[in-house]
Amino acid sequence: MLETMQFVIDRDAYDGAEELIEGWGEAALAEAAARAERSRDLGNHIHYTRWCRVGRVILLLGDPEARGTLH
């Protein structure tokens, strides 16, 4: 699903992803994208980048393959 290794350090992104997945199910990624677009259109770049990070986390959580290093 993801071609490159992703690293998300922001705990809020995981919390936002969890909230959207619980509330929107399979439409969570589309909702994150809609919220990002809405924020961008309003000129709110802080929330735009937040919702983009949430979308990346949703993709990571939905990836059936284990990624990253094993330890």
Taking only the tens place, the pLDDT of each residue in 35-59 is 999 999 999 999 999 999 999 999 9
Give, to the nearest 10 degrees, the angle between helix 11-24 and helix 45-62.
70
- Tell me how far apart the alpha carbons of residues 32 and 16 are, in angstroms, rounded to a whole number: 9
Which pLDDT score, from 0 to 100, does residue 49 have?
95
Whole-number Å distance between alpha carbons of 15 and 68: 21
Q: Report whether pLDDT(70) > 60.
A: no
pLDDT at position 65: 76
Please tell me the predicted confidence (pLDDT) of residue 55: 95
- Amino acid found at 51: W
Is 13 a residue whose pLDDT tops 80?
yes
Higher pLDDT, 18 or 3: 18
